[in-house]
Structure 1
Amino acid sequence: MATTVLALGGPLALSTPAVSAATPAHDHVLEWNQVLRQQFTKVCGEYGAPGPLVRAGAMMHAAIWDADNSISGGADPAYGFYLGRAPADAGASAEAAIDQAAHDTLVAAFPGQQASFYSDIDAALTRELSYLPASVTEQQKAAGQQVGKLAAQAMITARAGDTNTAFGGTYTLDQTPGRWRPTDGRAALGPNWGRLKPFAMTSGDQFRPPLPAGYSSYAALLASPEYATQVNEVQRVGSATATPADRSDDQTQYAKFWANDIGPTCDANNNVLTPGTYKPPGQLFETTAAISQSSGEQLGEFANARLFALVAISMADASITAWDAKYDTAISLWRPVTAIRNADHATNSALHQDPGWNPLSATADGTHFTPPFPSYVSGHATFAGAWAGVMRDYFGDNVSYTAHTQDPQLTDPSTVTRSFTSISAAATEDGYSRLYLGVHYRFDTEQGLNAGYSVGDYAYHNALQRSGAVAYQGPVATAAAAASGTSLALPVGRTVRAGDTLLVSAMLTNTHSGAVGATDTQGNVYSVVSDKADGASDRTLVLASIGVKPLTSSDTITLTYPTTGEHHATVEEFSGVTAVDRTSSATGAAGTPFNSGSTATTNAANELVFGVAGVQGGHDATWDAGFTARPTLFVSEDQLATAYQIVSTTGSYAASGTATHQWMASVVTLR
């Protein structure tokens, strides 16, 4: 794979470095995303608009990825770079590289702020560097920071022309009915933003949605029945005084939950008087973190670096797509509040003017407002669609998680959460929240979501690409013994490439209920994705670490568990895997074929199906056709059997075969 080498700031020796260990509980990528969200609440001036916020997120996270991948990715990285590889000294600290890249890009992305804004970012750098393990030398730390500086400077240079094309600009007002005009005295925000150089797309209009209801003139649109339907709906369901018959209590709550429109109160010198919310992009970043750390996912730092870069890039391109539609097409549509207050019954007999109408959208003190830019399409919905496009491609759609909010319209945002069992459900709710908030029409959301899904899918399939499809790479570690204990150290037997996935299979006999987990000396965390007990003090488990930092033969994987009489454990490496998809498990009596029960239909056409069976004695377990069996582990007659297959079509799959004694079987599909 051809790789660009970033050579800014002077040459360094390019080598295959040893990666320093990280504290498993401290993920520098997640921490810097939290810093980013905190800074979102304090950005004054035009850089606090949605577009500049997601631009900053894309700059920071893409630079983090290039810095981390330059060190952790090794000589043959599993995934591509955004701008290119930064040369790295052997032993350079990947965490120090992440920290410095995040700091430098975050400072550069928000010019013109007060000194306290930057001192907060400086303090974050000091704090994050303090989390480096004691084993990291000053030389390794400095080498890592140099990599971070190079990655950040490459990003800053690449985006240097943005201020010439996208920031500032003026919007020519006129009184054409239907054309956007100020709703509260604020000037049009971001009229040139649709001309920003994309982060992944080929052009700002690549995913431009169709014109509103297909009309290319204001007169034709305003006279149409489609327009009347749109206006009448938001007039009814988005009103500040709507009754529960028009807008349910739940719709009212999620309209406010997903809002997060409030910016900081700043004086003329950009001093923050009162912080705002983290805005819609911040909420989606927070939800990304919740999903990446949800049960069954638990992505490590290296995998999070890639995931957050993809999400950030897609949302930056979503802002360009939405603002292109708002300002650079034939229709720059006025907001519902303007349409309703200025409705002309003579032009469209289905409209009903209400000069006193207000949207539900309001500040904490109850002041009603509408964001100061055209309505079509909804930036909120386009962000949500782009976010969901990446997240569905990465994890599959069926993920359970809980989202949070900062919006002050809710009495106590810290106590309000909303839980979901799919990524699409949150994106849809997020998009349509703007209809019930009274600041967008339905077609703003529909077309914004559609455009966003296209943006997200494109970013996922074209940026930071993995090299190769799902494939088996080989055994990593194995152990089996009749030995009582609560932990097992598994020496790594081969080099494991950064970005690959490790699956730990374990059978514990004469054990107890209780937590099972695993970590390794590089800080990778292994999450339980399947845990099946047979009712007789025996358990069979599968643990996964997705997108690992690289391992060598000097590393160790440590499995911990309740006291057990016997243990069987094996670790296998697979490439091209990004997420757990489905699981299913079952137990059975002696003399019956083992069968885990099939998963629900897999989500992708190229998935890994991994099977594990724990059998209490008897002859060797055998696997049904289609599976490639791995060596079975024995302690006396008790056995742990594992196998896999890589399937090219979607479908339902089970771990199945024959066994002569009582069994526990599980299947895990990974995409």
Structure 2
Amino acid sequence: MHLRTIRPAAALLVTLLTLALTAVPARAGGPTLVVRWNQALLSAVRGGTLGPPMVSRALAIAHTCAYDAWAAYDAVAAGTVLGGALRRPPAERTEANKAEAVSYAVHLAATDLYPGQRATFDALMADLGHDPAVPDSQAARTGLAACQAVLDQRHADGSNQLGGYADTTGYAPVNAPVVVAEPLTALAQPGRWAPLTYRNAAGALVTPPFLVPHWGRVASFSGSARALADAVPAPAPYGSAGWRAQAAEIVAGTAALDDRSKSIADYWSDGPASETPPGHWCLFAQQVSARDRHGLDQDVKLFFALANAGMDAGIAAWEVKRDHDSGRPITAIRDQYRGQTIPTWGGRSVDGALWVPYQPATFPTPPFGEYVSGHSTFSAAAAEVLRRFTGSDAFGGQAVVAAGSSKVEPGVTPARDVTLRWRTYTEAAEQAGLSRRYGGIHFRAGDLEGRALGRAVGDAAWKRAVAYWTGRG
């Protein structure tokens, strides 16, 4: 079972979280073609079953296909697979031809990645005046050729997409599943990851396996994601003072949660039926596009760099997760405090052996190792690209968490609307990382080292993207 097969029903009915930038007039004519395709892709993500690393790869592939199709109509840009082999003559380098090539390319990628959502993609093509079944123009053929080259390469990139993303490494957890509703009595290796057994939103008893433990082997965009991951220092070893201190910090922190910190945990959770962290940052990029009045050329490059940084962040984070196979707070705290009464969120006290994080009971902790935080890595990488692309860290974003919208304490928390504001992309990324500590599913080091890794990944991906669109790829 994949992470995203477990969906809180409320999330399917209505979203109570609103996102808006500070008042900036939208670009005349509405969203760009690239943003419209990104919106369609995120709709597929919400309705699909792929977890964050697979989503990040899917977005990267689709936006790489868009970029490679666009590059064929640029004077200097190099395609990521075919270089300049598809370059069209100057007379054909019109906005209409670029747009048509991009749409045929993204449609091909999208239907390859999300075949069950084809109707959504076909509808957008029809709205744009294209028939995907009749690619009878040079622009259409160019877009399809560019994308097919990307797909052929990515079908052999180590992700095992054609095998349903099944693990190719033979990973097996060292610990037996921990039943969340029952007190922990023993754990073979408390410092290592343990599967969790719980009832999902459909009421079914589930024990999700470690999500794509082979993901560190996926070919990265920059070529350096795995090396950057391997440079991350090891986490605190089990039983050490650092190990005990990080568990104590989570216990104290979750017991002290107020409406604002709970809202931060809830807003950034990006769990089932959401855009997931990589898609969340695409929403921010959509608003940057409107704020800065982007055209097609700018958005092709922005989403190309952003999505590939996200893919590399997933590869790097999962490499670290698999290398260290670290236990989550839910098992570490239960092991450390069983038999002791400890404070927890909601003003309650519990036996440490039954402690749970501030998460919905139907999805208590994502199914993969703790160290490092994927949220922190994805967010820091995205923030790095947005900062570099716009030439400034200034963001001016905000989100309103509606009263009573909590997935953990519905109807109760927060007592009043809570507005979250981020002056900079960096502030937003830092809050995303911190949210996982508030939620009780990551330790401090997992967050901070994830942020550092994300910044390095984002820098490498940015430089690689620039090399492509300046013809040095």
Letter in 1 for 2:43: Q
Letter in 1 for 2:328: R
Map of 1:201 onto structure 2: 223
Conserved? CA contact 1:209–1:448, under 8 Å? no
Match of 1:248 among 236, 258, 263: 258
Map of 1:70 onto structure 2: 72
Alignment of 1:453-602 (within 5 A): 453-465=455-467, 467=470
> Alpha carbons of 1:394 and 1:119: their partners in 2 closer, same or farther (altered >3 Å)?
same
Letter in 1 for 2:210: A
> Alpha carbons of 1:140 and 1:278: their partners in 2 closer, same or farther (altered >3 Å)?
closer
Q: CA deviation at 1:201?
A: 2.6
Q: CA deviation at 1:31?
A: 0.2
Map of 2:238 onto structure 1: 222
Match of 1:35 among 40, 43, 47: 40
Tell whether 2:25 aligns with 1:25. Answer: no
Q: CA deviation at 1:292?
A: 2.4
Q: Secondary structure at the match of 2:137?
A: helix
Tell whether 2:296 aligns with 1:341. Answer: no
Match of 1:445 among 444, 447, 460: 447
Cα distance in 1 for partners of 2:419, 2:71 equals 34
> Alpha carbons of 1:374 and 1:29: their partners in 2 closer, same or farther (altered >3 Å)?
same
Letter in 2 for 1:119: A
Cα distance in 2 for partners of 1:87, 1:383 equals 33
Conserved? CA contact 1:361–1:437, under 8 Å? yes
Conserved? CA contact 2:225–2:457, under 8 Å? no
Cα distance in 1 for partners of 2:294, 2:418 equals 25
Letter in 2 for 1:180: W
> Alpha carbons of 1:26 and 1:255: their partners in 2 closer, same or farther (altered >3 Å)?
closer
Q: Give the aligned CA root-mean-square deviation in angstroms.
A: 3.0
Cα distance in 2 for partners of 1:94, 1:368 equals 43
Map of 1:361 onto structure 2: 359
Cα distance in 2 for partners of 1:332, 1:211 equals 14
**Structure 1 length normalisation: TM-score?**
0.54
Letter in 2 for 1:161: A
> Alpha carbons of 1:173 and 1:467: their partners in 2 closer, same or farther (altered >3 Å)?
closer
Q: CA deviation at 1:200?
A: 1.6
Tell whether 2:86 aligns with 1:81. Answer: no
> Alpha carbons of 1:426 and 1:141: their partners in 2 closer, same or farther (altered >3 Å)?
farther
Q: CA deviation at 1:210?
A: 2.9
Match of 1:424 among 408, 421, 426: 426
Tell whether 2:398 aligns with 1:402. Answer: yes
Alignment of 1:39-438 (within 5 A): 39-44=44-49, 48-71=50-73, 73=74, 76-77=75-76, 79-83=77-81, 84-85=83-84, 86-88=86-88, 90-91=91-92, 93-110=97-114, 114=116, 117-129=117-129, 142-162=137-157, 167-169=165-167, 170-174=170-174, 175-184=188-197, 185-202=207-224, 204-213=226-235, 215=236, 221-238=237-254, 242=255, 246-262=256-272, 276-294=273-291, 297-327=292-322, 329=323, 331-343=324-336, 354-362=352-360, 366-395=361-390, 396-403=392-399, 409=407, 418-438=420-440
Map of 2:17 onto structure 1: none
Q: Secondary structure at the match of 2:230?
A: coil
> Alpha carbons of 1:247 and 1:209: their partners in 2 closer, same or farther (altered >3 Å)?
farther
Q: CA deviation at 1:323?
A: 0.4
Map of 2:11 onto structure 1: none
Cα distance in 2 for partners of 1:310, 1:278 equals 18
Q: Secondary structure at the match of 1:205?
A: helix
Q: Secondary structure at the match of 1:204?
A: helix
Cα distance in 2 for partners of 1:206, 1:31 equals 33
> Alpha carbons of 1:210 and 1:189: their partners in 2 closer, same or farther (altered >3 Å)?
same
Structure 1: which 5+ runs fail to align? 1-21, 132-138, 216-220, 263-275, 347-351, 469-671
Conserved? CA contact 2:158–2:219, under 8 Å? no
Conserved? CA contact 1:319–1:382, under 8 Å? yes
* Deviation readout 1:255-310 (Å, 9 max, x if unpaired): 10011111xxxxxxxxxxxxx2222221111011112222xx22212101100000
Cα distance in 2 for partners of 1:385, 1:293 equals 22
Q: CA deviation at 1:203?
A: 5.0
Letter in 2 for 1:292: S
The alignment-based identity, stated in percent, is 27
Map of 1:14 onto structure 2: none
> Alpha carbons of 1:173 and 1:432: their partners in 2 closer, same or farther (altered >3 Å)?
same
Letter in 2 for 1:171: Y
Conserved? CA contact 2:158–2:217, under 8 Å? no
Q: Secondary structure at the match of 2:227?
A: coil
Q: CA deviation at 1:143?
A: 2.0
Cα distance in 2 for partners of 1:379, 1:290 equals 23
* Deviation readout 1:538-574 (Å, 9 max, x if unpaired): xxxxxxxxxxxxxxxxxxxxxxxxxxxxxxxxxxxxx
Q: CA deviation at 1:408?
A: 6.8
Cα distance in 1 for partners of 2:36, 2:419 equals 21
Q: CA deviation at 1:233?
A: 1.2
Q: Secondary structure at the match of 1:419?
A: strand
Cα distance in 2 for partners of 1:67, 1:28 equals 13
Letter in 1 for 2:47: K
In the comparison of the two structures, how many residue pairs are matched? Answer: 391
Q: Secondary structure at the match of 1:342?
A: helix
Cα distance in 2 for partners of 1:462, 1:163 equals 20
Cα distance in 2 for partners of 1:80, 1:143 equals 19
Q: CA deviation at 1:315?
A: 0.4
Conserved? CA contact 1:82–1:464, under 8 Å? no
Cα distance in 2 for partners of 1:60, 1:250 equals 36
Cα distance in 1 for partners of 2:398, 2:152 equals 38
* Deviation readout 1:363-386 (Å, 9 max, x if unpaired): xxx535100000000111100011
Q: CA deviation at 1:81?
A: 3.4
Cα distance in 1 for partners of 2:424, 2:40 equals 27
Q: CA deviation at 1:24?
A: 4.3
Conserved? CA contact 2:229–2:319, under 8 Å? no
**Structure 2 length normalisation: TM-score?**
0.76
